[in-house]
Amino acid sequence: AKKLLSRSDFMDLLQNYDKDNIAESRLKKLRKQYINAEEMQVEVIQKVSKAGSGLCLWARAMDVYADVAKEVGPKKLRLDEMKAQLAITTAELKEKQAQLKIVLDRVAGLQKTCDETLAEKNRLQA
């Protein structure tokens, strides 16, 4: 532990820790040996070492993060699936709207032709 703590890149190791891929066995060991241990409670460690209390808080944060990530992960996947489906449906909607515009423009053209024809008919009958 002292060897690890004395490394010059120790803070970088903590900040860049791959928190999204913590092994379940490591989490079980963390919970069993440290998180639930009486002597590893933040209040107890704070009395002994501020640096130790920071590490204790970090470990607890990783534990909470792992639980939240486990719950949120499937929801993120579902969200990504729904976004992909929305993109497909939106593209189809735009295509249909473009087709509708073509039809409405043609109907407007036919209506104009009809109106002009009726006006010509009325002019000729008068």
CA distance 31 to 39: 13
pLDDT 10s digits, 39-55: 889 899 999 988 888 88
pLDDT 10s digits, 13-46: 899 999 988 999 999 999 988 888 888 898 999 9
The pTM of the full predicted model, rounded to 2 decimals, is: 0.62
CA distance 4 to 59: 15
Distances (CA, A) of 103 to 96, 97, 108, 113: 11, 10, 9, 15
pLDDT value, residue 117: 97
